[in-house]
Amino acid sequence: MDLEALKKSSALHPKPPGLALQYGTAGFRARAQQLDHIMFRMGLLAVLRSRAVASTIGIMVTASHNPEEDNGVKLVDPLGEMLHPSWEEYATQLANAEDEELQSVITEICQKAAVNQHKDASVFIGRDTRPSSEELSQSVVDGVSVLGGQYHDYGLVTTPQLHYLVCCQNTQGQYGKATLEGYYEKLSKAFTELMKQAPSSGEHQRHLKVDCANGIGALKLSEMEPYFPKEVLIHLYNDGTKEKLNHLCGADFVKVNQKAPRGLDLKPNERCCSFDGDADRIVYYYEDTSGHFHLIDGDKIATLMSIFLKDLLAKVGQSSALAVVQTAYANGSSTRYLQETLKVPVHCVKTGVKHLHHKAQEFDVGVYFEANGHGTVLFSKAAETKIRQLAKEEKDAEKREAAKVLGNMIDLINQTVGDAVSDMLVIEAILALKGLSVQQWDAIYTDLPNRLLKVQVADRRAIGTADAERRAVSPAGLQERIDALVRQQRLARAFVRPSGTEDVVRVYAEADTQEAADALAHEVALAVYHLAGGKGAPPQP
């Protein structure tokens, strides 16, 4: 390590006094002007991580669905997964070190993580379309370079594309070619093969309106358009040419506000979907003939994929292979449908993509989605090998065809992370193959009315949870109070959990009517306020 060079370079990216940030599930997020030193230091950390695991590491400059003024950074581990939890701690430690402590913290991390400073290091860098992203990714480059790391700057990419590129690189091309063309070709080839099997193939064009949140999704979808079969017409809205990123549009806006984004005109019964700012989340929606808005969120996406996969897996004699992973926020109707009607095992884990991904890896075929539209499907090596073998060698025609469709699904799904582009193509293929309209998909089950609330508290650590955040273990008496309130309503459920980022407690309630769900959420919020140190005025109904 060239200490003089490190000192000089670090002085160009000074840490603002008194600023402390935490690396969480979404990496670092803050106002863009607070992040220069963070980017430089994450460049340093990526080099250390690359040397520790002898693989290429990714760095994505994005703040996803946050406002345009914010930015952030996430590291991507060798197989395209999220950064290992022990390294999240190193990231926080390195980010918050004073300038003069930088060298000693690097040395400490190298000792703890057995990093050989003389090994080669390789880092892939990507960024979203925020005005601040280009300059901030240059700070990443400075960090990588000063520790002697090699880098490839892919420039403007979606977050899932960077995850894909890192995985391709570290599997020596087994997962695909580590180029954007490789990504477009792999996905479009699988999608085209699937669309050939669709009953009405070639007869009519399938139209889909896509709200791109004024973000990177628009750029990449238009690059990909020449690869699509001509039966599919994708119309892009909020493409970033006129409005601000994520402003009154995008998957998060649509999910939270239960209404269409600005800049997209809804016609009755038209299929529409929204990406978020870095294109790793997707939700669908439509307006019925009476002007009523219908949201199709991550729970319903997971259900559609599960129905389709279960049917195919049964045809190839692997019907027990499938499981679904949800969080406590999944609508009770979706859980009931999956377990009771579809007879698929459902597992509940703590909120956060990394928990879902980790659990889904335990199954031959693991489907996971958060209600916000972030999710994917994971196939075990054994399941994939078996499916590919059946597609080649199976004598029984029906079984062989089902295996071929599954093989194309495996290629179309981005298994590294939730990917709005990939998920959109998977959904479009399933709807075409099953001959389902968006209304028929929506009607698979009816969501229970629900309500989300936030309660300000003095210290969020007052709330302790267990059973995948479905039960409160502290403060004393809170869970008993919630249980008593839930018993007063039909089909009711409620839970509370501390926010990961601010001193608020999140309350979720569902029941058989919207009035009952609202009343239950309010009563639970009051219980939190009184028992867990509420701040300010008590929650109002």
Would the annotation count 265 as a binding residue?
Answer: no
Q: Is 467 helix (H, G, I), strand (E, B) or coil?
A: coil
Q: Is 481 annotated as contributing to ligand binding?
A: no
Annotated catalytic residue, options 9, 10, 50, 64: 64
Contact of 527 with 481, CB cutoff 8 Å: yes
Q: Is 497 among the annotated ligand-binding positions?
A: yes
On whether 501 is known to bind a ligand per the annotation, the reply is yes
Alpha-carbon gap, residue 493 to 274, rounded angstroms: 29
Place of tokens 């590491």: 57
Q: Is 176 annotated as a binding residue?
A: no
Is 276 within any annotated ligand binding site? yes
- The answer to whether residues 128 and 61 touch, using CB atoms and an 8 Å cutoff, is yes
Query: Which CA distances in Å does 64 have to 14, 60, 217, 440?
Result: 25, 10, 11, 31
Q: 168 CB contacts (<8 Å, ≥6 apart)?
A: 175, 176, 177, 178, 182
370 appears as a binding residue in the annotation:
yes
8 Å CB contact between 276 and 420 = yes
Is position 36 annotated in a ligand binding site?
Answer: no
Q: Give residue 134's region: left, alpha or beta (phi > 0; psi -120 to 50).
A: alpha
CA angle 275, 281, 285 (to 5 degrees): 60
150 contacts 121 by C-beta, under 8 angstroms: yes
If 0-12 CB within 10 Å is exposed, 13-18 middle and 19+ buried, where does residue 328 land?
A: buried
Contact status, residue 283 vs residue 256, Cβ threshold 8 Å: no
Q: Is 64 a catalytic residue?
A: yes
CA distance readout (Å), 51 to 23, 73, 89, 165: 20, 20, 17, 18
Q: In what order do the strands lie in the sheet with 450-456?
A: 450-456, 504-510, 493-498
Flag whether 29 is marked binding. no
DSSP letters of 315-352? HTT-GGGEEEEEETTS-HHHHHIIIIIS---EEEE-SS
Angle formed by the axes of helices 36-53 and 85-96, nearest 10°: 140
Here the tokens at position 295 are 């949201």
The pair phi, psi for residue 174, each rounded to 5°, is -65, -35
What's at 43, amino acid-wise?
A: G
Alpha carbons 261 and 19: distance in angstroms, whole number: 35
Q: Which residues are catalytic?
A: 64
Binding residues for Mg(2+): 64, 276, 278, 280
Residue positions forming the annotated binding site: 64, 276, 278, 280, 370-372, 497-501, 506
Give the residue ranges of the annotated binding site for substrate. 370-372, 497-501, 506
